[in-house]
Amino acid sequence: MSQQFCDVALPVPLDTTFTYKVDGAPVVAGGRVIVPFREKRLQGIVLRLHDEAPGENVKLKSVIAALDSTPVLDEGLLALGTWIARYYLAPLGEVYRCMLPLGAEFKQVVAYSISERGTEALYQSAEVGSSRRSHLDPERQMAEYAVLDYLAEGELVREATLRAATGTTRETLRSLVAKKWIVREDLSTARDARRTMKIASLKEDEPSPQDANDGACREPRAGKLNANQQKIVTHLRAAEGRLPVDELRQLSVPKTTLATLVRRGVVEILEEPAAFAVPAMKQRNTIDFPFTPAQQQALERMNRSVEARQFQAILLHGVTGSGKTAVYLAAMRQVLNAGRGSILLVPEIGLTPRVAADLYGIFGEQVAILHSSLSDDERAEQWHRLSRGEARIAVGTRSAVFAPVQDLALIIVDEEQDHSYKQDEAPRYHARDVAAVRAKGLKATVVFGSATPSLESYHNAISGKYALLRLPDRVQQRPLPEVELIDMREEFQASGKEHLLSRRLIEEVTLRIERGEQAMILLNRRGYSAFVMCRACGDTIQCRDCAIALTHHKREHKLMCHYCGYQQAIPKVCPKCGSDYVQFLGTGSEKLEDMLHAAFPTARIGRMDRDTVRGHHDFERILSAFTAGELDLLVGTQMIAKGHDVHGVTLVGVVGADTALSLPDFRAAERTFQLLTQVAGRAGRGSSPGRVVLQTYFPEHYAVQFAAHHDFEGFYEKELRFRGWMHYPPFTSVANVIVRSDQQELALRYAGILGKWFEGERHEGVRVMGPAAAPIIRLKRDYRYHFLLKSASRERLNSLLRVMLRHAAEQHVPRSNLVVDVDAISLL
């Protein structure tokens, strides 16, 4: 007998699952269902089916619809979700929602009908006239009565229709629901998101024997056709009677011609599932050049590991320009040839159309590319292709770690130190660490690749947890660039003025322009001026919603917040004291570009930062122009440091990349070392050797020194010693607990509740610091206080956090006011 109940994980911020009656719906564990939840319908994942009836007084609701006859999350992925929920203290339903990019297959539909009370109100308003309404905002009242009037027939009307017909706002509808004048109903349902295409098909009769005998051209049954109609029919005949409608539209005939043929019964239009078309691309032989001995060894080691079908984690530490990508692709091809599957994760910015084209060039239809500019429908399509085994390779950013690749044998995490792998909203998982857990469950191989591995991964490698493979040399024996440090304090003393560009850097850039070579200049701050200050009262202009100085963007004539996106006009006088001594201070990439134009009037200069790059295509466009030699100089933020391979670059200038060293963050040195190494690695990737001019105010800082000497081991050794002394990762686990509220008293009160509890609670082996104001005390309207927890024992840390969450719930601290960030990457 089939089971009567199912437990469902729902995407709500609650650490619990919900039981529903099955009532004959074809429910499967690991499949999706639509269920009623409070006033809504939600889509959830069935965790298990059972017959354990709840208590007698518990009234259970029934499943509304089952979406899947086979699981969308197999046992492995279900277990992975459970692990994430436990490890990151995230609600299970939210984890599963994040794992399944199938939002397109759930259609949210809300409808409204008038209530008895609403009908009464409508009649009264008609009788009493406008006199009774005068105490209310008349415009708002008009809007409300317009809705009631539209619903007066008593029908259930969909929100979209209602809003289109009456021009009403969500707010008005909410207010009417609150007054119980109308009733809101959630009718959300499953939706088929499969892309379809329209096919024109010729409706010819079966050829009769006579036709075959006399061989005459048959007339379509509807009689004579005009020239345009004949053209379409001829084309269809040539294509065995079937062509996509889009293709027929290319013919130079009026649009109406096809419609006429349909009306006359000559042609019919069929809707069919669209086949996935691999985008047209040039074939590139990215992996078919001879490997260096180190590349060959790395590849063989990976292949052996995959074949062994045992869990193995490998750190591939290769200097910039050592050909890591070629090794990845060769390993993935090997896996594909064995009929198995692989995943390649790349950082946010790494997945350009060019990279995608390369991948299609090598793997054709076997690759599914998951990037942020896909529509929901496209994302769902790629997901199903993988799930059905039609594609065996998934390439994508963070969430591609959940791709339903069949017989997954290999996961590669490129630039594993990149912070875009950590999700900065719930569930706050780290894709690199999830990749390791997933590989372990499948007895698969996971490879972490980087020129500048994270301290965590490097520590795992030298302690023997991961295998360590090195690519110590650049391909074709190209040397690493020579780095020259410029002490900006000396520069100031020598010239008596603050300069953004040192004399040395100007000299070197001049030389490159004369020689027709290219240069990149990094300034890791966007905008024109970093902040706006009043000379009279000393105040800087801050964001309305964050405790952050606004940045001046000259071209847009705006002040902007880089944290929440708030914008405002540039004030003429100080908003605080009214003085007009408002000054713009500090320099961002926009201003640097202007300064370079002034210093090198003939140079062609491009800029790459979040203001000029709004999507993958902008990124690709600027990079292509630079690669093609259409630009002499490229300035930009850390975006220019990420993995590009532009052979003409012989100079990299670094301006103000060490400011991060003064941030209150234990990862500041690691970040600076990584950024400096990555950007320096852009120089000298072609036949001419490269040079780096690194301007700094901290020339003796070890992060700067080791980066200048390309000394990875030296940096890691020193940084690991510091981390050990300070009890920071990788020697301890950390969690950042943020208490937030848009009302400061509430934030303080919640922080006080937790603070008191931490004080009173025994928590052996866990060090708790706080509560303290977060370094950014106000962000996106919320006031923020935090606790930093450190422990050598992950288990103790997590169990303390669990008890803390329970206590917070008992004390009525809403879960949405608490952020628990396990393995926090940023403490700001």
Residues of this chain that bind Zn ion (CB under 5 A): 534, 536-537, 543, 545-546, 561, 563-564, 566, 574, 576-577, 579
Burial of 451 (0-12, 13-18, 19+ CB in 10 A): buried
Number of H helices, E strands in the chain: 25, 35
Nearer to Zn ion, 79 or 828 (CB): 828
Evaluate whether 693 touches 654 at the Cβ level (below 8 Å).
yes
Nearer to Zn ion, 551 or 791 (CB): 551
CB of 581 to Zn ion, least distance (A): 7
CA 629 – CA 645 distance, rounded (Å): 13
Dmax (CA) of the chain? 102
Evaluate whether 370 touches 399 at the Cβ level (below 8 Å).
yes
CB of 579 to Zn ion, least distance (A): 5
3-class secondary-structure state, position 771: strand
The dihedral through the CA atoms of 709, 710, 713, 717 has a sign that is positive
Nearer to Zn ion, 206 or 425 (CB): 425
CA 347 – CA 616 distance, rounded (Å): 12
CA 89 – CA 111 distance, rounded (Å): 36
Nearer to Zn ion, 283 or 579 (CB): 579
CB of 425 to Zn ion, least distance (A): 17
CB of 773 to Zn ion, least distance (A): 17
3-class secondary-structure state, position 775: strand
CB of 291 to Zn ion, least distance (A): 49
Nearer to Zn ion, 247 or 580 (CB): 580
CB of 585 to Zn ion, least distance (A): 14
DSSP per-residue string spanning 397-410: SGGGGG---TTEEE
Name the pairing type of β-strands 782-791 and 766-779: antiparallel
Nearer to Zn ion, 391 or 574 (CB): 574
Nearer to Zn ion, 83 or 563 (CB): 563
Nearer to Zn ion, 538 or 765 (CB): 538
Nearer to Zn ion, 364 or 578 (CB): 578
Nearer to Zn ion, 389 or 565 (CB): 565
CA 140 – CA 594 distance, rounded (Å): 50
Nearer to Zn ion, 548 or 822 (CB): 548
CB of 784 to Zn ion, least distance (A): 13
Nearer to Zn ion, 588 or 648 (CB): 588
CA 114 – CA 123 distance, rounded (Å): 12
Alpha carbon separation from 645 to 397, 675, 682, 750 (Å, rounded):
20, 16, 7, 50
Evaluate whether 348 touches 610 at the Cβ level (below 8 Å).
no
CB of 771 to Zn ion, least distance (A): 23
CB of 610 to Zn ion, least distance (A): 15
Nearer to Zn ion, 579 or 743 (CB): 579
CB of 540 to Zn ion, least distance (A): 10
**Rounded to the nearest 5°, which phi and psi values hold at 453?**
-60, 150
- Output the six-digit token pair for 599: 């210093």
CB of 566 to Zn ion, least distance (A): 4
Sorted by sequence, the CB contacts under 8 Å of residue 427 that are 6+ apart come out as 84, 85, 88, 90, 91, 94, 95, 98
- Output the six-digit token pair for 206: 């079966």
Alpha carbon separation from 520 to 513, 595, 631, 637, 652 (Å, rounded):
12, 14, 10, 10, 5
Burial of 79 (0-12, 13-18, 19+ CB in 10 A): middle
CB of 582 to Zn ion, least distance (A): 8
Sorted by sequence, the CB contacts under 8 Å of residue 643 that are 6+ apart come out as 350, 415, 678
3-class secondary-structure state, position 225: coil
CB of 742 to Zn ion, least distance (A): 13
Q: How many CA atoms lie within 13 A of 562 on its CB side?
A: 19
Q: Using alpha carbons, select from 503, 501, 556, 553 the residue that is nearest to residue 532.
A: 553
Nearer to Zn ion, 64 or 574 (CB): 574
CA 560 – CA 541 distance, rounded (Å): 10
CB of 531 to Zn ion, least distance (A): 13
